[in-house]
Amino acid sequence: MTTPRLLIHPYTLPLARPITTAAGHFTTRQGVWVEVRDLEHGEFGLGEAATWPGFGSGRLGMESIAARFEAAAADWSVKGGVEGVKEALEGFQGGVEERFALETALLDAVARFEQRPLGALFGVQTPRRSVAVHVLVKDEDDAVEAVADGARHLKVKVGAALLELDDARLGRIRAAVGSAVALRLDANGAWDLETAPVAVERLARHGIEFIEQPVAADDIEALARVRRQTGVKIGADEAVVSTQALEQILELEAADVVVLKPMFVGGALVALEMAAKARACGVSVMLTHALESAVGRLAALHLASAMPEPLLACGLAGRPAGMPEGVAYPAVVEGRMVVPGASGLGVGQEVMAWS
């Protein structure tokens, strides 16, 4: 019998770039790292929980999770593999971010014990060595720089300014990068049902791959209506809050693309199941991180390395919150992010010194 110990490390980390959204201006990222230990086998694993306005449960109570975990998973051991992780999390009660943290830590410990990269646990024969990613750009200068660095997919946030300004900005970006680069847009739910079809059709004239969340997350019927009215490819992001929400999106044919954030769906294993459901309905999948530290971001990258095709270019690029200058992080080469080949996540307890 193994006694795991779960340690909680709260953090406040500087974001590599400040972020302004409808919910406010952010210069730091707060959350917790969890560290799970299998004392018998001398192994540890790391996970991370971090909330974000508009996504997930929005609350963290990791201390009570830890107490329940000690009681519910007294039999957990790294020797149990992925099945053992599923058993340890059966009947889990808590927020999606906490579930993601605990699952990631357990999977990391198992992968370290098996001396495999975390992505190798997901049942794929050979995980990808690199994952196609997009680069977030705000104007033509950004876009030209990203393409010069090898980016093939650019993402542009829209909906925060007048439609005319977004339209002109997109026109400049398209003119600067040419037709071979994919442009994807994200409105983060900015428009109402009257404005959305007009805005989507106008911006789509610049040749776009798809547009995320033209209308608010809680109105899946409106999303479906925009898709039907415009014929433009629509992505669901904030709307994908659960398996039930995904099923409604699929049933109403509300999206061509679903964005899965392991942090906000409750972990990699749930995300894999959701992706399979989407694919079965002909809906494409992309994975993104939650602007968190290297722990959560690497968990998402490893999951992406194991996702069956087709997988769209993912939102995994960017420097993690709190990572000091000079510390190596998976590079993006020719638009693809290199997946760490080391055991587990590819990052260890040194992260704890970064907060």
Select 32 or 239, whichever has its Cβ closest to Mg ion: 239
Whole-Å CA distances, 265 to 69, 82, 246, 268, 273: 19, 18, 10, 8, 11
Residue tagged active-site, from 138, 157, 233, 277: 157
Q: Which stretch binds Mg ion (CB under 5 A): 152-160, 172-180, 191-199, 211-219?
A: 211-219
Sheet of 153-157, strand order = 135-136, 153-157, 182-186, 211-212, 234-236, 257-260, 284-287
Q: What are the DSSP calls for 218-270, one per residue? A: T-HHHHHHHHHHH---EEESTT--SHHHHHHHHHTT--SEEEE-HHHHTSHHH
Select 112 or 261, whichever has its Cβ closest to Mg ion: 261
Q: Which stretch binds Mg ion (CB under 5 A): 4-12, 128-136, 193-201, 231-239?
A: 231-239
Residue tagged active-site, from 86, 138, 155, 261: 261
Q: Is 157 designated active site?
A: yes
Q: Work out how close the CB of 67 gets to Mg ion at its nearest, in angstroms, rounded to a whole number.
A: 34
Give the contacts of 130 (CB within 8 A, at least 6 positions apart). 333, 336, 337, 338, 339
Q: Work out how close the CB of 266 gets to Mg ion at its nearest, in angstroms, rounded to a whole number.
A: 18
Q: Work out how close the CB of 157 gets to Mg ion at its nearest, in angstroms, rounded to a whole number.
A: 8
Residues of the chain by 3-state class (helix, strand, coil), percent to 5: 40, 25, 40
C-alpha span between 270 and 295 (Å, rounded): 18
Q: Is 233 designated active site?
A: no
- Interface with Mg ion includes 38 (CB under 5 A)? no
Interface residue with Mg ion, options 35, 48, 186, 209 (CB under 5 A): 186
Q: Work out how close the CB of 170 gets to Mg ion at its nearest, in angstroms, rounded to a whole number.
A: 17
Select 103 or 237, whichever has its Cβ closest to Mg ion: 237
Q: Work out how close the CB of 153 gets to Mg ion at its nearest, in angstroms, rounded to a whole number.
A: 14
Select 97 or 237, whichever has its Cβ closest to Mg ion: 237
Q: Which stretch binds Mg ion (CB under 5 A): 102-110, 230-238, 270-278, 323-331?
A: 230-238
Residue nearest to Mg ion (CB): 237
Burial class (CB in 10 A: 0-12, 13-18, 19+), 247: middle
Interface residue with Mg ion, options 38, 48, 209, 212 (CB under 5 A): 212
**Total residues found in the chain within this entry:** 355
Select 315 or 322, whichever has its Cβ closest to Mg ion: 315
Select 166 or 186, whichever has its Cβ closest to Mg ion: 186
User: Count residues contacting Mg ion (CB under 5 A)?
Assistant: 3
Coil, helix or strand at residue 88: helix
Give the residue among 180, 183, 126, 190 at the shortest CA–CA distance from 158.
190
Select 209 or 237, whichever has its Cβ closest to Mg ion: 237
The tokens describing 225, both together, are 């209506």
Q: Are 336 and 130 in contact (CB under 8 A)?
A: yes
C-alpha span between 346 and 311 (Å, rounded): 22
Interface residue with Mg ion, options 38, 43, 103, 237 (CB under 5 A): 237
Q: Work out how close the CB of 212 gets to Mg ion at its nearest, in angstroms, rounded to a whole number.
A: 4
Coil, helix or strand at residue 43: strand
Q: Work out how close the CB of 150 gets to Mg ion at its nearest, in angstroms, rounded to a whole number.
A: 23
Q: Which stretch binds Mg ion (CB under 5 A): 85-93, 179-187, 214-222, 247-255?
A: 179-187
Coil, helix or strand at residue 24: strand
Q: Are 310 and 286 in contact (CB under 8 A)?
A: no
Q: Which residues are catalytic?
A: 157, 261
Contact set with Mg ion (CB under 5 A):
186, 212, 237
